[in-house]
Amino acid sequence: MTVQSKMVSLCTCKDFQHCWTDKCVNATAGIILAATPYCLRVYTMVYALSLVMRGKIPTLDDLKKTVRGILQSTAFLVTNAYGFIMYNCLMRHLMGYYTTASVAFLPCFLASLMAIVVEREPRRPMLALYVANVGTETLWNMAEARGWVKSIPNGQVLLFGASISALLYLYKLGLHKTTCKDSLFGLLKIFVGKAEEGPATKESIEGNPAAPTTQQRSRPPINFATINGWVQAYSRFIEKLKGKHETCNHKESCVHYSIMGGLKPLVGGIGVQVALKLLLNIKKVAQNKLDWRKTVFTKKTLNLGLFLGAFSFLFKSVSCGLRHGFNRDDPRFALPAGLIASTSFLYYPDKTVALYVMWKTLQIVYNLGIEKKKVPKVPGFTIMLYAFCTAVLFHAGILEPKTLRPSYYKFLQDISGGRFNHFNMKPLDVFGLDTARQTEEVLISLKLTDRSKLPMFALADW
């Protein structure tokens, strides 16, 4: 990527983002009309799915709250969309030119601040977490494009391992029941089991310091020079496998506990993958046109199940092994067990999952630090995080689209009513980021090159 060649662009907002109309008011009103139906569809599906997942018939009050939630969330997202156009035009008129900051970052930052206060307060942390996830990936891609950083192979596995180990340590401490309450721990409980849940009792932590039993004292040492000695070693090994350590909270043997703990998530993960593929291809299934061998019966279908199954098996077996080795339980055992178990992420090395777990961990640890009075509470931190990360995404979408996640670029195209592929990027090449070429390549890869029609609700002057 080339360095910046100029600091300003003298193009107008009409030349850049609404060439079909001279009036900024028309451009702002048009995106309101275009974004509203799309946002309504999105949030209707989100809230409807939330109702279904509750597993019970909704009451009239539930339906009223759902409708209010849909309307409020729609207003939030529409505000974010039209606010960007409005502040972009306003800043261009006030300054008389564009800079790398005022062309996308600053207008989106102001629009995001205005939009997030429209949304319900309980939803703000979730939204901030989502854009922080995508924003972190985008910032890394931007730094990598400039040669400032270099990605390492399977770096997402290391990120996931460090984050999940910290969460498991808090889980073993039992803080998920008190100061670190979060829905993510409920998901962890499914895969690592209730037996690993803290806080541990004094007996399980300290173990049993009592002297060995008479039967154990009477056992003669094994002589490996004879066949009988090897038989005795084998017998004692089998005996060990059939039992469990006194500090283990599970009822069955450690071997059974570990193996069955891995099999259940394995089967469940494969089932989820198959169900998702069938759901995404429901039309082809109904028409009996689905290629089952290429769509369902593939190696990729196993990846999620292998990751979940191996993670559970490794964590439980390592935890049991540490309890046997140290003759006690310790919340710190979650750290090595979590790191070893995270190697299973190689089966499903998803950046989105790794970044989500990282940001969730940072959020939980930060809240714990506030609770323990170790770090100060920053007023409005969630709002500022949302505004900053959303501004980063819009900056990338406008000036450096190759650094932005393709799915998010398509989202920007959809919410804008098809305006993104009508923006004129050539005047922005003065910033030295090769914006026009990057944009064209992204549009071709996403099949968004059709510019024959005006965007939705263009409110054009002709």
Measure the CA–CA gap between 144 and 138, rounded to whole angstroms: 10
Which of 427, 428, 460, 423 lies closest to 443 in space, CA to CA? 423
Q: By the 8 A CB rule, do 318 and 193 touch? A: no
Within 10 Å of residue 176's Cβ, how many Cβ atoms?
A: 21
Token pair, residue 70, equals 């849909």
- Type of residue at 200: A
Token pair, residue 373, equals 């009075």
Measure the CA–CA gap between 298 and 291, rounded to whole angstroms: 11
* Helices 381-399, 406-415: crossing angle, 10 deg rounding: 90
Q: What pLDDT, on the 0 to 100 scale, is given for residue 460?
A: 85
Burial class (CB in 10 A: 0-12, 13-18, 19+), 59: exposed
Tell me which H or E stretch contains 203. Answer: helix 202-206
Beta bridge partners, 99, equal 8
The DSSP output letter for 101 is I
- The domain ranges of the chain are 8-151+379-446, 155-200+236-348
Exposure pattern of 264-281 as b/e (b: 16+ CB <10 Å)?
ebbebbbeebbeebeeeb
Residue positions counted in the chain: 462
Beta bridge partners, 9, equal 98
Q: What pLDDT, on the 0 to 100 scale, is given for residue 209?
A: 46
The DSSP output letter for 242 is H
Token pair, residue 324, equals 């046997």
- Type of residue at 374: K
Measure the CA–CA gap between 340 and 125, rounded to whole angstroms: 31
Q: By the 8 A CB rule, do 308 and 265 touch? A: yes
Question: Which residue numbers in the chain have pLDDT < 70?
Answer: 1-6, 200-225, 229-230, 232-242, 462
Query: Chain centroid to CA 138: how far?
Result: 14
Helix (H, G, I), strand (E, B) or coil at 20: coil
Measure the CA–CA gap between 135 and 431, rounded to whole angstroms: 21
Burial class (CB in 10 A: 0-12, 13-18, 19+), 182: middle
Q: By the 8 A CB rule, do 9 and 97 touch? A: yes
* pLDDT tens, residue by residue, 298-308: 888 889 999 99
Q: How many helices (H) does the chain have, and how many strands (E)?
A: 19, 2
Helix (H, G, I), strand (E, B) or coil at 158: helix
Percent helix, percent strand, percent coil in the chain, to nearest 5: 70, 0, 30
